[in-house]
Structure 1
Amino acid sequence: MKTAKWSIYAVTTWVRRQPPKMKAFLALILCLTTLLFIKMVVHNYHNLFFASEAVHTLGISILIFKLIKHKTCSGLSLKSQELTAMFISVKLYCNFGMGYHRHTILHFTTLGTTLWVIYMIRFKLKSSYMDNKDNLAIYYVVVPCAVLSLLIHPTLTRDHSINSILWAFCIYLESVSVLPQLRLMQNAKIVEPFAAHYVFALGVERFLSCAIWILQVLDSHGRLLTNLGYGISWPAMVILSEIVQTFILADFCYYYVKSIVAGQLVLRLPSGVV
């Protein structure tokens, strides 16, 4: 066990010493290798979707445990939770409006737990909320997503133009909803374990969700990119949104794994990570 731990530490030390371009190349190779492994192992992409949802549920469960057991919400961004509740609510509305009910129960469960977390932060544990460090204004995130959704959205049917815009809005908002949480952790410099576990779970979830779309495009030999409308490909925009959030969280996940390998209970973020 000690030998394996030392080997992992040696690899992470070597990676840390590499120039930025080499780190980017190694990250690309790792992602491609992981995608290839997933493609070989997973034959039903619905299972991959449920795996990503399970990871998200695990992350939420960690937050619930922290709030109930430790009676504190330090290190958690109320604004990220509010953005999460916003895009899930819009997604549920679109599911009913467009007639897609496949994953409604999962979305309802996630929305319910997120609203409970918001309630705890706002009222029950308000004294431990780091208000001064959770300082990324929500409109900096919501307004660009709203404008982009008006410009680029799926053209499913003429009768559902409003739903199409709202669907695009929730996809874009989901991809950047974690930014206030990352901003808070960057301001705090030191990230306590439960918040770190939660954000890492989000990073794994987004990678799995991104993998689903990329693998579907590969299986369709690129035809999926021309579906759901004309002009700018909507599936391509969804994949881009997934990739954006994956890269937003990638740097944090790197330092998280490095901290775990080193046996550190508290994650320290260097300046410029977020």
Structure 2
Amino acid sequence: MRPQKNTLTVISSWVRRQPPKVKGFLAVVAGMMTLVLLRAIVHDHDNLFKAAEAVHSVGLAVLIYKFSKEKTCAGISLKSQELTAMFLAVRLYCSFVMEYDIHTLLDLCTLAATLWVIYMIRFKLKSSYMEDKDNFATYYVAVPCAILALLIHPTTSHYLINRIFWAFAVYLEAVSVLPQLRVMQNTKIVEPFTAHYVFALGVARFLSCAHWVLQVLDSHGQLLTALGYGLWPSMVLISEIVQTFILADFCYYYVKSVFGGQLVLRLPSGVV
């Protein structure tokens, strides 16, 4: 185990010394290699979306365990949870009226768990809520997402209002984690359960992004045509990629911390 640990340490040190552009390039290469691997081992790529929902649920389970064991919600952003509940509720509505399937059930379970987390933060564990650190104005993301949804939305045969709601859920999901990142930026020290939860979000975002990218490749671009015409198909892919890269930097430091045997994650300035 020691040679492996030394190898990981050498690689990690080399990556840290690289300029931001090189780190970005390496991240893209690693992402593409992972996509190739997933395409080879996962035959039904729709399972990647189900896996993304499952990983998100695991992250919520970590929060529930944290609340139950430590009786504190310190380090958790209520605003991120509220944004998550908002896009899940909108997406659930769209699923009921547009494409009722297994994803509807998964979203319902995730929404129920998210609402429980919100209830615990607002009422049961309110005294430990770090309201002064959770200072990201949600309208900075909700309003632009709503405006963007009005301008760019699916061109399918569904009712216009439903198509706008669909687009709003996609855009809001991409940026819903920003308040949580602000809390961690303000505290700089992330305790284990919070770090596990945010890492689970990062993994879920990547699996969801992989699902869309591989579906497009497998259909030779026909999936984009099925989504409609204009800018909407491209915006779906861009949204998936954006939400993946938002958490990429944090996930790097999380993995580095785990391999280094650190229980508490300390973030350097400018990470999130």
Unaligned stretches of 5+ residues in structure 2: none
1:253 is matched with 251
2:180 is matched with 181
Deviations 1:234-272 (A, max 9, x none): 222111001001010001111111111111111111111
Q: Is 1:193–2:192 an aligned residue pair?
A: yes
User: After the TM superposition, which residues 12-161 of structure 1 pair with which residues of structure 2 at under 5 Å, given as runs?
Assistant: 12-157=12-157, 159-161=158-160
Q: Is the 8 A contact 2:39 2:45 kept in 1?
A: no
The CA deviation at 1:100 is: 2.3
The CA deviation at 1:165 is: 0.1
Q: Is the 8 A contact 2:202 2:244 kept in 1?
A: yes
> 2:159 aligns to what SS in structure 1?
helix
User: After the TM superposition, which residues 233-252 of structure 1 pair with which residues of structure 2 at under 5 Å, given as runs?
Assistant: 234-252=232-250
Q: Is 1:216–2:197 an aligned residue pair?
A: no
Tell me the distance in 1 between the aligned counterparts of 2:145 and 2:202.
Answer: 20
Q: Is 1:262–2:263 an aligned residue pair?
A: no
> 2:132 aligns to what SS in structure 1?
coil
The CA deviation at 1:225 is: 2.5
User: After the TM superposition, which residues 161-172 of structure 1 pair with which residues of structure 2 at under 5 Å, given as runs?
Assistant: 161-172=160-171
Q: Is the 8 A contact 2:50 2:103 kept in 1?
A: no
Unaligned stretches of 5+ residues in structure 1: none
Q: Is the 8 A contact 2:154 2:164 kept in 1?
A: yes
Task: Say what the alpha-carbon RMSD is for the aligned residues.
Answer: 1.1
Counterpart code for 2:136:
L
TM-score, normalization by structure 2:
0.97
Q: Is the 8 A contact 1:52 1:208 kept in 2?
A: yes
2:205 is matched with 206
The CA deviation at 1:116 is: 0.6
Q: Is the 8 A contact 2:53 2:110 kept in 1?
A: no
> 2:18 aligns to what SS in structure 1?
coil
Tell me the distance in 2 between the aligned counterparts of 1:102 and 1:167.
Answer: 17
Tell me the distance in 2 between the aligned counterparts of 1:26 and 1:103.
Answer: 33
The CA deviation at 1:28 is: 1.2
Q: Is the 8 A contact 1:98 1:160 kept in 2?
A: no
Tell me the distance in 2 between the aligned counterparts of 1:228 and 1:245.
Answer: 20
Deviations 1:76-135 (A, max 9, x none): 000000001111010111111214233221111111111110011001111110000000
Tell me the distance in 2 between the aligned counterparts of 1:123 and 1:2.
Answer: 47
Q: Is the 8 A contact 1:90 1:166 kept in 2?
A: yes
Tell me the distance in 2 between the aligned counterparts of 1:204 and 1:18.
Answer: 24
> 1:227 aligns to what SS in structure 2?
helix
The CA deviation at 1:40 is: 0.5
Identity %: 68
Q: Is the 8 A contact 2:216 2:222 kept in 1?
A: yes
Counterpart code for 1:57:
S
Tell me the distance in 1 between the aligned counterparts of 2:7 and 2:13.
Answer: 10
Tell me the distance in 1 between the aligned counterparts of 2:223 and 2:112.
Answer: 33
